[in-house]
């Protein structure tokens, strides 16, 4: 930085002169007043470029521009320096991260996506969250096979090329570990949306419909359950009722336009839109059509919810509608009173997001946000709401309503019904406490608190 900044009062228009620096500091209400003044003076004369000046009135003006740096003064690198492109080194802090005390080893562990650093609704493949039960295998697709057998007329085995010959579909869906948010059952643990909501991602999958493949093998009427199994060390298995398998499941071989990453099941994985990611069996090699569920360890001992009275819920397939504010969120700090655009993610395992409402007073009053992305079935949806922060303590919350009419509940309601030992499906609202701007050194700090 070689710029020299001089104390110099900016040029002022008639309008901004009336506002002055004091009015600017008082925030947007004063600015709005100034705009009204300007509008009155230039009634229905269209865009008024002079309005651009008001908010900057009283600020020092730079008089020397940035000096040209190496980027301008020397040649950059040539093509194919990186045959597979990588992010700028300045983005090196944008990473999936784990909590090393969560699990005793890294082969049965999880990383969280940095969702506070993502934009739009697509998670880049390298930042997709990871959940392994037996490490990541490196499978040669030429050697990999998918078998469909059991209660079928014609057991079949498919090569990867066979699968790609079938009609293909591409769909954007979120994929969420049912333990997303689990750290919060016992109160707040960590101050980052990466930890509270990062066990999920949203990507575009391409693959072949499961119903096309099951029909190809001639599933018998007594075949009521589909039991997919992985080719990895965990041999992951779950049980899906046939109605669920035939609804909108597919077998994906591609993710965001390229082959699946190994971390996400290369060469093929099951996609069960809207349902627990644990069911989206990776490294898929076998689908057994069966008359009863398997009662696998991952649907009995794990991925079941212990209730306060000691009973337990099983086969909780669907991920409920959920939402979270990603900006401002605990990884950021407020920059002073004024206008903010509260933005975040909403999603539902049962269909499209219908409404997202934002509260700044801890849930007492709500305003409807608008969507800044496309609204897709069982996919992340981006919302945004303009907010004038007056610098006082605020409690930011978001609440989703999905197209089935389900309204995301507050945490006390969920805790009252389900206790705190549930582990999975903690999908109630979270609260970001914005510290008052005048609150000493923590002024403007954003803190994860729980109701």
Partner 1 sequence: MYNTNKTIVAVSVAALLTGSAFAMSENSNGNAEVSAKIDGKYASNYAEIIKNADGKYLDKAVIEAILGEEATHGRNGMVGKLDPANPYSFEVDDSIDGGNHGNAQCKIPKAFVEVHESAAKNYFDDDRFVARGFGTPIAETALEKWNISVDGDGKGLPDPSVGMTIEEGGQIYVQFCAMCHGEFGEGAKGYLALAVEEDLVTSSFTDPAPMKSVGNYWPYAVTLFDYIRRTMPFWTPNAPYIGDAGYLGMAGYILQSNYLVMDDEGTELEDDTFFNSEVLMKVNKYMPNQGNWFCDHRPVIHNARCMTNCPDDQVGWDGTGDPTQYRQARKLPDGTPQYNVPQRLHEDKPGVGHAGM
Which residues inside 20-49 make contact with partner 1, applying CB under 8 A? none
Angle between helices 28-41 and 14-25 in degrees, nearest 10:
170
Which residues inside 361-390 make contact with partner 1, applying CB under 8 A? 361-368
Binding partner 1 (rule: CB under 8 A), the pick from 316, 371, 372, 390 is 316
Neighbouring-strand partners of residue 134: none
Q: How far is the CB of 392 from partner 1 (least distance, A)?
A: 12
Nearer to partner 1, 82 or 101 (CB): 101
Is-contact 145 155, C-beta < 8 A? Answer: no
Closest of 246, 266, 247, 245 to residue 255, by C-alpha: 266
Is-contact 286 213, C-beta < 8 A? Answer: no
What track of x and - describes contact with partner 1 for positions 67 through 106 (by CB under 8 A)?
--------------------------x-x-xxxxx-xx--
Is-contact 131 164, C-beta < 8 A? Answer: no
Nearer to partner 1, 12 or 420 (CB): 420
Is-contact 348 400, C-beta < 8 A? Answer: yes
Q: How far is the CB of 227 from partner 1 (least distance, A)?
A: 6
Integer angstrom CA distances of residue 171 from 160, 202, 250, 256: 19, 10, 10, 10
Q: How far is the CB of 140 from partner 1 (least distance, A)?
A: 17
107 binds partner 1 (CB under 8 A): yes
The two tokens of residue 163 are: 């699968």
The two tokens of residue 371 are: 């969507």
436 binds partner 1 (CB under 8 A): no
Query: Which stretch, 11-19, 52-60, 264-272, 413-421, contacts partner 1 (CB under 8 A)?
Result: 413-421
Which residues inside 142-201 make contact with partner 1, applying CB under 8 A? 147-149, 154-158, 162, 165-166, 185-192, 195
Binding partner 1 (rule: CB under 8 A), the pick from 406, 436, 437, 439 is 406
Runs of H (alpha helix) within 3-101: 14-25, 28-41, 70-73
Is-contact 196 114, C-beta < 8 A? Answer: no
Nearer to partner 1, 96 or 128 (CB): 96
320 binds partner 1 (CB under 8 A): yes
Query: Which stretch, 38-46, 53-61, 73-81, 311-319, contacts partner 1 (CB under 8 A)?
Result: 311-319
Which residues inside 336-365 make contact with partner 1, applying CB under 8 A? 350-351, 355, 357, 361-365
What is the Cα–Cα distance from 179 to 111, expressed in whole angstroms?
12
Task: Give the other-Cβ count within 10 Å of 323's Cβ.
Answer: 30
Query: Which stretch, 56-64, 66-74, 123-131, 218-226, contacts partner 1 (CB under 8 A)?
Result: 218-226
The contacts of residue 68 (CB under 8 Å, 6+ apart) are none
The two tokens of residue 303 are: 């991925």
Which residues inside 124-143 make contact with partner 1, applying CB under 8 A? 133-134
Q: How far is the CB of 428 from partner 1 (least distance, A)?
A: 9
């Amino acid at each position: 930085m070689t710029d020299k900044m001089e104390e110099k009062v900016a040029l002022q228009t008639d309008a901004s002169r009336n506002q002055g620096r004091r009015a600017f500091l008082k925030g947007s209400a004063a600015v709005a007043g100034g705009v009204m003044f300007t509008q009155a003076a230039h009634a229905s004369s269209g865009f008024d470029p002079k309005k651009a000046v008001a908010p900057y009135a009283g600020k020092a003006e730079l008089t020397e521009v940035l000096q040209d740096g190496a980027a301008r003064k020397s040649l950059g690198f040539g093509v194919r320096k990186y045959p597979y492109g990588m992010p700028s080194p300045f983005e090196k802090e944008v990473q999936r991260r784990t909590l090393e005390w969560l699990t005793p080893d890294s082969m049965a562990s999880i990383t969280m996506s940095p969702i506070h650093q993502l934009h739009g609704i697509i998670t880049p493949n390298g930042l997709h969250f990871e959940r392994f039960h037996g490490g990541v295998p490196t499978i040669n697709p030429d050697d990999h096979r998918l078998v469909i057998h059991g209660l079928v007329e014609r057991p079949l085995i498919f090569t990867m090329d066979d699968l790609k010959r079938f009609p293909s579909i591409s769909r954007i869906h979120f994929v969420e570990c049912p333990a997303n948010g689990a750290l919060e059952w016992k109160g707040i643990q960590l101050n980052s949306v990466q930890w509270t909501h990062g066990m999920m991602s949203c990507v575009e999958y391409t693959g072949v419909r499961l119903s096309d493949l099951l029909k190809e093998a001639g599933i018998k009427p007594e075949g009521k359950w589909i039991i997919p199994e992985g080719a990895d060390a965990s041999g992951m298995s779950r049980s899906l009722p046939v109605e669920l398998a035939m609804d909108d499941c597919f077998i994906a071989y591609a993710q965001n336009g390229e082959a699946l990453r190994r971390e996400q099941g290369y060469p093929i994985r099951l996609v069960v839109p809207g349902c627990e990611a644990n069911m989206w069996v990776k490294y898929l090699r076998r689908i057994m059509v069966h008359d009863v569920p398997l009662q696998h360890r991952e649907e009995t001992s794990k991925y079941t919810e212990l209730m306060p009275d000691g009973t337990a819920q099983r086969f909780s397939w669907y991920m409920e509608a959920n939402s979270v504010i990603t900006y401002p969120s605990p990884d950021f700090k407020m920059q002073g009173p004024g206008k903010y655009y509260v933005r975040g993610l909403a999603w539902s395992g049962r269909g499209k997001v219908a409404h997202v409402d934002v509260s700044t007073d801890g849930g007492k009053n709500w305003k409807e946000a608008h969507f800044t992305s496309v609204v897709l079935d069982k996919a992340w949806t981006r919302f945004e709401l303009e907010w004038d922060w007056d610098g006082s303590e605020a409690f930011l919350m978001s609440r989703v309503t999905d197209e089935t009419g389900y309204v995301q509940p507050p945490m006390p309601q969920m805790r009252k019904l389900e206790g705190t030992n549930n582990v999975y499906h903690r999908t109630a609202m979270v609260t970001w406490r914005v510290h008052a701007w005048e609150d000493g050194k923590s002024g403007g700090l954003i803190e994860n608190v729980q109701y």
